[in-house]
Structure 1
Amino acid sequence: MNDTFTRFESPVGSVHAGHGDIHYHSYTTGGFAQQKAGRSPRRIADDQLRRLRQRFVAPKGMGEARRLLAEHSTVFLDGPQGSGRTAAARVLLYELPQGDGIFRELLPGDHEEVALTDTGLVGAGDRLLLDLAEADLAGWRTIRRDLSALRKAVQEQQAHLVVVMPKDGPLESDLQLYRAEISQPPAQEVFRRHLRLHHIPHEEYLQSAPAFAEFLDAQRSMEEIADFAERVRRARTAHRPPDDFAGWCEQARDARKTWRQEVARLVTDRREASQRALLFTTAMLHDAHADVIHHATALLLRTLKAPRDTVHLLEDKDLAERLTEISASAGPDGHVRFDKLGFDAAVRVHFWDHMPDLRARLSSWADRTAELVDRHLTADLRRELVRRLAEQYLRTGKWRELAALADEWSANPANPVRPAAAIHALSCGLESKQYGGNFRELILTWCRDKQLAGDLAGVLLRVCTEVIAPTHPDQAMVRLHHLARRERGATPALDALCDLVATSSRLRRRMLDRLTRHSSASTPDARLFLRVCDPAPLTDPGSSPRALMDENYVQGCVTTGWREVFFQLPQAHWHPYAKRWLHTASDAGNRRDLLLDLLVDATDRNGVHLAALYSVARAAEPTASGGSACGVATTDRLLQKISAAQGLRPTAASSRPAPPRGTTP
């Protein structure tokens, strides 16, 4: 079985042989396996939180929550369902000063997550979210027992914790001090904030809108209000009459209907294959340009092997007439939309639910449609097509089938659009509240055991760094570790792993533990250790009270790791890393002896390894950052430690003796 992935030197791209411009939208993989993710997980998480903050309207009680979090490092958020507790929790953590720590969600009960009482759970300056809004009272009772230990760790690490309480969840008297109750913010202000972010001028949405007032008559959750604002935006874009704010709100209100009966009647009345193909295509590519709709409809008919129409092209119905038959039309911008807002979603549901035998072919059509070369087929439209398809799989509980489809797209790197589609499909699964855990578990299995055919390695790398890591960095670290173990040649997964552990001292400690926890690490882990065990961050405390290197446990990991390096890898491989270690020792002040001791202890008094270490030190002298004299002093100090390890008398530094015994010069 081929269980490694290597560099692809020649990227494959689309060929454009017709007239007009070709718009290529970042789908080139360049060999996905050789690329690492473009942005750090910390940056992605902060960007997501920043966007949330932009559309957030502070509820009553938010000020008290901020005060408690600032003074006590912990706040328990309580409030009615739909009040936006989880969003408020994320905003509270985003508003904190950005230090060395990272944002992460705790997942109590997940078999991969350490217990809330584990001393290694909290990193220095971490911003922790414990979202228990959907927890049952039994689960909440179990978690409450561990909250005191968690709070203590948070305080010791100068971290911050926001706990979103479940509905009607009791709280012990000693924790009531840290409880803040929020209420739902003004619905109209939330609605207007979303409209502003949709770039709708205020002079438009300040007009009277009876449909919106009717919508607000019922108690609406923050999510429902956001959805309503999105539908208003879509109605405004469609330019359907009545084309004013009141009319957009009417259409947004009506779009809350399921339209199921209307769609069923339309499908019953339109029995020709060409009509139904156009209906489904318009639903899947809703708001696409008419050219895309036309070509994708023809492709669907070919995919379904429908008989060709023998009518002469000039005698056939034009696209405008055919769209009218399915209650759709092209707007002034040439983009096709149904006459009723929200009708597209109902059509997708109808075809998926009532024509199950077509599902496999519809998925194949979506794949081939994404590969079409058309200047109107943008990256966003391709992504939306995959999202709409994934939505149907997840809605009907077919998450395994969606994962298999992503696997199929990953395995065929002939067209760079397919790996991108696989990333979008897996992202939809990972972001699903119901099936996110299933996808994380599946991706763990793939990273560890699955044959990495085609561009699957690159796809897994992207979803680990860009989707999993921003909220669950520990789980992303484990998956990247498995990928990095299997690399040959290029090391994009190892690069991403090093970037991830660089965001948190806690993650670096955990990674060192993973690499050295067994008495005899594998050769791949010995190679990975050299990259992860970078002496510079290990000796830099940052904003923490002490550096990682000052911890006895980390020192043990370092010694174990270097021992495996010396005994498993050739000197040519570890030479540059040892040289960097010695350079760091030269600048480490009172930690110089510690760094040298760890290297010498790792040799287990093996003369060959001690001599090799000494030769590296001699070679490193001229390039020491403090000058060659500083390098010489470090070498002399190392020699004293080598002599002591071999039971020899310390030799005068000025004599510059031959290499340690048991070796050849």
Structure 2
Amino acid sequence: MNDTFTRVSSPGGSVHAGQGHIYNFHSCTTSSSAQQPAGRSPRRIADDQLRLLRQRFVDPTGMGEARRLLVEHSTVILDGPPGSGRSAAARVLLYELHQSTGIFRELLPGDKEEVALTDAGLVGPGDRLLLDLGEADMAGWWKYRRDLSALRKAAQEQHAHLVVVMPPDGTLESDLQPYRAEISCPPAQEVLRRHLRFHQIPHEEYLQSAPASAEFLDAPRSMEEIADFADRVRRARGAHRTPDDFAGWCEQARDARKTWKHEVAGLVAERCTAPQRALLCTTAMLHGAHADVIHRASALLLRTLKTPRDTVHLLEGKDLAERLTEISASAGPDGHVRFDRLGFDAAVRVHFWDHMPDLRPLLSAWADRTAELVDRHLTEDLRRELVRRLADQYLRTGKWRELAALADKWGTGPAHPVRPDAAIHALSCGLESKQYGANFRELVYTWCRDKQLAGDLAYVLLRVCTEVMAPTHPDQAMVRLRHLARREHGGATPALDALCDLVATSSRLRRRMLDRLTRHSSAPATDARLFLRICDPVPLTDPGGSPRALLDESYVQGCVTTGWRAVLVHLPRAHWHPYAKRWLHTASDAGDHRDLLLDLLVDAADRDGTSLATLYAVARAAEPTTSSGSAHGVTTTDRLLQKISAAQGLRPTAASSRPAPPRGTTP
């Protein structure tokens, strides 16, 4: 199969109601030839993630001072004990700025793709930068601390904002002390209630007396622990277990903090038949699914394991309710199956994975086949959760390469409506992993650049780059999208479209991409095709919120000249003609930038008579379609002719004479 891929389609968005990042995935209904990206900009996705974080955030002590420092000095360095919510506070501070320009971005010092903190091109106009060193060791903190002054200065110059999270017990130089804000944990009760409200638990419920909640909050708790407790209360409420009130939910949430390790081991030892263990494992992997799904998936697991079929007559065997009772589970009033103890499902998954290692590849095959089942109760959320639970076991035990191989299998295998989404979910779990995120970013880079794009893999990589990587790591996403775009052929260019959308969010990204396409190109003809889309004259001449337009920078002018020269040399006129026409239209309307736009085109022709004549012919043809009127088009064409004549060493011709075209081919 070749590396060509085409545009893909997807429906609308989804809602996040839990902890951590939000990644929006959408089901595909056919193969990649009928799919396309969701179309939401990375900035919008990042802002949505930060907005959801803000909704469940309670200001820690010292947050007001942090806000003041960030507004007055464009920089704040957060200090505080572990568990005080420093990273969340940093993100909320940046979200509250509501900049009209720039993007949110997490800096990754030490990452081989990340430029140094002192690099002048690191900060873009209006950017919101997060440098989270909260878990750095003292050697790492000392290394990056030296560059903070230069980074802070760059942020000020670009009207950007920088929030740094420093490690506990870290030290600061005297020149950085004025930007330090110390925060401490907010009231635990208020944090818990904010999370419960976020989970849509009515206040008349959580204001009831709950001894287990009070017991939990009596001990010092990190913000993450409180959020996790609130989420367990939410799950207990949805399970409808007795006692079914707030005090009972809190008791279940408290008990769910147990690992249930010995209880699970005892249950597995007691339920030693294949059907019992298959039902136990299936219930854990599909916890909360409808009983019909549990029944079918359990039977599918037995078939996957090639277990002989039970010869007992259907009416003589145990019904599903009895079998569920044997494994300490039951179906609730809504027909959905859950274990009787909260958190028991996670313990069962861990037990089977750790103590039956030969089962692991078969579980992956079973998950694949289960996700493909056609059942109205098997929702997209349930399929996503199944992949996540499987991925968690791979990552928990350090098997990230095996998870990547599974994503590869799902992405490149035979076409099926659910396989691409499964691959996306698996890769996203790897990318959001603190321990293995860098490994997966490198893997995605290698796949985008070199791997055969069989099956739906190109679509999978496109979605991962645009919806998972770009919101927080736009530079890395941009590089990977460029490699995908270089491999596109034919009329549809979804990766190039996504790349254009991404660079449109930041002048810094556009500058960096122009540099890569013109100064560091290993495939001039291919990159010339991409250059025409990235080198849009309108954003180049529009300063937006910056002090000056990109095209006013001499370095960008050099990139533009080099890029257009490659276009004129390597691409046919039919391909670049509409882009040159847009360039000339912009010149007619650009006022102060008119001469510069024309100069760059003429310089790109490098005194080649054929190229100059072709440019002149394009200008003549574009005159009637200039938005500001044909008179402006005529003026632009005459000005272009003067510059062409000067480049060829000819005497300038009066504009009104409308002379023959310059030496070369006739228009």
What TM-score do the two structures reach when normalised by structure 1? 0.96
Contact 1:60 1:182 in 2 (8 A): yes
Q: Aligned pair 1:334/2:342, yes or no?
A: no
- Return the match for 2:550 from 522, 540, 548: 548
Aligned runs of 1:373-388 on 2, under 5 Å? Answer: 373-388=374-389
Question: In the alignment, what sits opposite 1:18?
Answer: none
User: Which residue identity is paired with 1:573?
Assistant: H
Q: Is the 8 A contact 1:33 1:458 kept in 2?
A: no
Checking the alignment, whether the CA contact within 8 Å between 2:8 and 2:494 is kept in structure 1 is: no
2:7–2:36 contact (8 Å) kept in structure 1: no
Shift of 1:520: 7.2
Q: What residue number does 1:504 align with?
A: 506
1:617-637 deviation line (CA, Å, top 9, x unaligned): 001000001111110000000
RMSD over aligned Cα atoms: 1.5
Cα 1:343–1:32 change in 2 (3 A) is farther
Aligned counterpart, 1:185: 186
- Structure 2 residue 568 is the aligned partner of structure 1 residue 566: yes
**Equivalent residue number for residue 5 of structure 1:** 4
Structure 2 contact 8–459 (Cα < 8 Å) conserved:
no
Given that 2:30 and 2:416 are in contact with CA atoms closer than 8 Å, whether structure 1 keeps it comes out as no
Hey, what does 1:290 align to over in structure 2? 291
- Cα deviation, residue 664, structure 1: 3.7
Name the residue aligned to 1:254.
255
Matched position secondary structure for 1:107: coil
CA offsets 1:177-201 (integer angstroms, 9 cap, x no match): 1100001011111101111111111
For residues 660 and 304 of structure 1, the distance between their equivalents in structure 2, rounded to whole angstroms, comes to 78
1:294 shift after superposition: 0.6
User: Is residue 33–residue 457 contact of structure 1 (8 Å, CA) maintained in 2?
Assistant: no
**Paired position in structure 2 for 1:84:** 85
Gaps of 5+ in 1: 12-23
8 Å CA contact 1:36, 1:493 repeated in 2: no
1:285-336 deviations in Å (ceiling 9; x for gaps): 0000001001111111111110001111111111000000000000000000
Secondary structure of the structure 2 residue equivalent to 1:76: strand
Shift of 1:36: 2.8
The secondary structure found in structure 1 opposite 2:176 is: helix
* Structure 1 range deviating more: 516-525 or 277-286: 516-525
Output aligned runs, 1:103-122, within 5 Å.
103-122=104-123
Where does residue 433 of structure 2 map in the other structure? Answer: 432
Listed one character per residue, the Cα deviations across residues 528-547 of structure 1 (whole Å, up to 9, x for unaligned) are: 00000000000000011000
| Aligned-partner SS, 1:128 | strand
* Further displaced range: 518-527 or 411-420: 518-527
Q: Shift in Å at residue 38 of structure 1?
A: 2.4
| SS in structure 1 at match of 2:163 | strand
Q: Which moved more, 1:196-205 or 1:402-411?
A: 196-205
Query: 1:365 corresponds to which residue?
Result: 366
Structure 2 counterpart SS, 1:7: coil
Which residue of structure 1 aligns with residue 352 of structure 2? 351
User: Counterparts of 2:156 and 2:647 in 1: how far apart (Å)?
Assistant: 42
Question: Relative to structure 1, is the Cα distance of residues 413 and 100 closer, same or farther in structure 2, using a 3 angstrom cutoff?
Answer: farther
Displacement of 1:519 in angstroms is 7.5
Q: Displacement, 1:7?
A: 2.9
Q: CA deviation at 1:413?
A: 4.4
Distance (whole Å) between structure 1 residues aligned to residue 167 and residue 26 of structure 2: 43
User: Given the superposition, is the C-alpha separation of residues 285 and 133 from structure 1 closer, same or farther in structure 2, using an over 3 Å criterion?
Assistant: same
Question: Partners of 1:25 and 1:336 in 2: how far apart?
Answer: 26
Name 2:636's counterpart in structure 1.
Answer: 634
8 Å CA contact retained: 2:105, 2:128: yes
Structure 2: distance between partners of 1:317 and 1:521: 66
Residue in structure 1 matched with residue 132 of structure 2 by the alignment: 131
Aligned residue in 2 for 1:21: none
User: Match for residue 597 of structure 1?
Assistant: 599
Task: Using the TM superposition, give the Cα deviation of residue 446 of structure 1 relative to its aligned residue in structure 2, in angstroms.
Answer: 0.5
Q: Which residue of 2 aligns with 1:307?
A: 308
SS of equivalent residue, structure 2 residue 175: helix
CA displacement, residues 625-661 of structure 1 (integer Å, 9 cap, x when unaligned): 1111110000000000111111111112222222211
Please name the residue that 2:611 is paired with.
Answer: 609
C-alpha displacement at 1:8, in angstroms? 7.7
Q: Distance in 1 between matches of 2:35 and 2:489?
A: 11
CA-to-aligned-CA distance 1:130-174 (integer Å, 9 cap, x gap): 000100011111111111111110000000000001010001111
Counterparts in 2 of 1:23-172, with a 5 A limit? 26-29=27-30, 31=32, 35-172=36-173
Cα shift at 1:212 = 1.2
**Partners of 2:521 and 2:527 within 8 A in 1:** no
Describe the shift of the 1:3–1:485 C-alpha distance in structure 2 as closer, same or farther (beyond 3 A). Answer: farther
Amino acid at match of 1:452: L
Aligned residues: 652
Q: Distance in 1 between matches of 2:348 and 2:65?
A: 47
Q: For the Cα contact (< 8 Å) 1:33–1:455, is it kept in 2?
A: no
SS at 1:174 equivalent:
coil
For 1:366, give the aligned amino acid. A
Q: Is the 8 A contact 2:31 2:415 kept in 1?
A: no
Runs of 4+, deviation exceeding 4 Å: 8-11
CA distance in 2, matches of 1:458, 1:107: 26
The question of whether the paired residues in 1 share the 8 Å contact of 2:612 and 2:664 is answered with no
Deviation at 1:208, TM superposition (A): 1.2
The alignment status of 1:491 with 2:493, answered yes or no, reads yes
Q: 1:10 to 1:52 in 2, by over 3 A?
A: closer
CA contact (8 A) 2:127 2:160 kept: yes
Deviations 1:540-569 (A, max 9, x none): 000110000000000000000000000000
What is residue 219 of structure 1 aligned with on the other side?
A: 220
Match of 2:16 in 1: none
Letter in 2 for 1:187: A
Q: Out of 609, 614, 623, which is 1:621 matched to? A: 623
Aligned to 2:537: 535
- The alpha-carbon deviation at position 213 of structure 1 amounts to 1.4
1:219, CA displacement in angstroms? 1.0
Displacement after TM superposition at 1:663 (Å): 2.2
Secondary structure, counterpart of 2:601 in structure 1: helix
What is the alpha-carbon distance in structure 2 between the residues aligned to residue 319 and residue 461 of structure 1?
A: 43
Equivalent pair of 1:541/1:548 in contact (CA under 8 Å): yes
Q: How many Å separate the matches in 2 of 1:662 and 1:281?
A: 75
- Superposed displacement of residue 217, structure 1: 2.3
1:536, 1:584 within 8 Å by CA — same for their partners in 2? yes
> Is the 2:31–2:456 Cα contact (8 Å) retained in structure 1?
no
Residues 1:257 and 1:219: Cα distance change in structure 2 (over 3 Å)? same
2:7–2:494 Cα contact (<8 Å) kept: no
Question: Which position in structure 2 is the counterpart of 1:481?
Answer: 482
The normalised TM-score by structure 2 is 0.96
Contact 1:409 1:418 (8 Å CA) reproduced: yes
Asked whether the 8 Å contact 1:25–1:378 carries over to 2, the reply is no
With 71-80 and 217-226 compared, the bigger mean Cα shift is at 217-226
- Asked if 2 retains the 8 angstrom alpha-carbon contact of 1:5 and 1:33, the reply is no
**CA separation in 1, counterparts of 2:33 and 2:267?**
43
In structure 2, runs of 5+ residues without a counterpart are: 11-24
Contact 2:28 2:35 in 1 (8 A): no
CA contact under 8 A between 1:521 and 1:564: conserved in structure 2?
Answer: no
Secondary structure, aligned partner of 2:243? coil
Distance 1:283 1:212 in 2: 26
**Cα deviation digits, residues 330-370 of structure 1 (max 9, x gap):** 00000000000000000000000001001101100001101
Q: Look up the match of 1:19.
A: none
Whole-angstrom distance in 2 between the partners of 1:438 and 1:120: 25
3-state SS in 2 of match to 1:173: coil
Amino acid at match of 1:190: V
Deviations 1:226-246 (A, max 9, x none): 010011111111111111111
Q: Write the distance in 1 (CA, Å) between the matches of 2:331 and 2:9.
A: 40
SS in 2 for 1:241: coil
Superposed counterparts of 1:397-408, under 5 Å: 397-408=398-409
Which amino acid is the alignment partner of residue 41 of structure 1?
P
Inter-partner Cα distance in structure 1 for 2:466 and 2:108: 18
**How many angstroms does 1:522 deviate by?**
1.8
CA distance in 2: counterparts of 1:483 and 1:262, whole angstroms: 49
Q: CA deviation at 1:662?
A: 2.8
Alpha-carbon deviation of 1:451?
0.6
State yes or no: 1:280 paired with 2:270. Answer: no
In structure 2, what is the Cα distance between the partners aligned to 1:528 and 1:413?
A: 31
CA distance in 2, matches of 1:436, 1:249: 34
